[in-house]
Amino acid sequence: TALESFYQLAGLETQKYYLAKGIEETEHTLDRIDQFREKGISLPDTIDRSTVVTQLSDLTDQQLKLEYLRIQLNGQLQKLIGCPLNEHNFYWPNVDWTPDLEPLQVEVELVDGLSTRSDLRGLELLICNLEKPTLPVARGVLKFADSTLGTVEPIDGIIHTLRCYKCNRSEVPVRCRQLAIFYEDTEKLATAEIKSAVYNVTLQQRRVSLAQETVAELRENLRKLTGTRDVNDTTVFEISRLKGQLYEAESKLVEQTVALKIAEVGLRKAQNTLPLECGFVPKLCCEGSCCGACMRCEPNTCRKCRKK
């Protein structure tokens, strides 16, 4: 959450710059209109003072909203990372705005993500080490998944009490199969989360590309218009209007880039790699001691199920 707020704040600070440029350009346009009127010079048919005033009012309103959002995001960041709250002390995020537009491979991201998901690793460890002494742990995990699974169910009258030694032995393969089902459900859910995050990143990459194309086209149009203004008798109002469009497009590009970075955070969250970036590499007790043959509790492979 702090990382998402960080990128939102970085985008806001950058958008403030382009918004200020847009306000400045609109104010210049309004001043030129007033000067033309004072000198008795007729304005182009496409220029209307009331429209420019409305546009300036809208831009100023956006600026006020950004200022309020800036205070909110700074306070949220300060709270999330444990710093004293101070509405006068603002962060200035340092972000590389070059977007990563390299296409993602869904299957590669899925394999990487499933291997780092701690929920799957925990279930694998539990299944691999499922013995009579670890049955209480299995019951607790299954009860978390489904409250009806945490209690022992009679199987042909075999299991009648948790303290019965014979029942304990009969319960092990039952829990093994239940955990295998829970593992499969958890894996399907994790797969859906990771794939959804990958598709979201891909979508944002395309939106950034479109925003880049728009900015590039407007810059080229402004360059051509400025270069031929004397030849084509281009008015200063046309150039000012195009500058305003360019500032708006650049602000939109920043917005889409922020959305891309947040989507990338969502992917890393779904893959459970955010802790690794912070240097936190959790290792479960006994992890790595299992041969892996009974990972899915399939018949003829699980040493528990073979007994049954």
For the segment 136-170, what is each residue's pLDDT rounded down to a tens digit?
A: 888 888 888 776 665 555 444 444 444 444 555 67
Across 11-15, 65-69, 223-227, least confident range = 223-227
Neighbours of 147 (CB within 10 A): 9
pLDDT of residue 303: 42
Most confident range (mean pLDDT) of 44-53, 231-240, 270-279 is 270-279
If you compute the radius of gyration of the chain from its CA atoms, what whole number of angstroms results?
31
Choose the weakest-confidence range: 8-12, 39-43, 103-107, 108-112. Answer: 39-43
Residue with tokens 């922020």: 258
Chain-wide mean pLDDT for the chain? 84
- Smallest CA-to-CA distance from 179 within 101, 238, 127 is with 127
26 pLDDT more than 80: yes
Contact 245, 55 (CB under 8 A): no
CA distance 13 to 11: 6
Task: Tell me what pLDDT residue 166 has.
Answer: 52
**In this predicted structure, what is the pLDDT of residue 152?**
54
Residue 127 has pLDDT above 80, yes or no: yes
Mean pLDDT of 217-245: 84
| Per-residue pLDDT at 250 exceeds 50 | yes
Given a cut of 60, is residue 63 above it in pLDDT?
yes
| Burial of 169 (C-beta count, 10 Å sphere; 0-12/13-18/19+) | middle
Compute the average pLDDT of residues 10-24. Answer: 94
CA separation for the pair 39, 242 (Å, rounded) = 25
Of the listed ranges 39-43, 68-72, 203-207, the one predicted with least confidence: 39-43
Least confident of 68-77, 141-150, 260-269: 141-150
- Assign 88 a pLDDT band (cuts: 50, 70, 90): confident
pLDDT, residue 158, reads 44
pTM value is 0.80
Of 236, 222, 237, 250, the closest CA to residue 51 belongs to: 237
Q: Which of 31-35, 48-52, 69-73 has the highest mean pLDDT?
A: 69-73
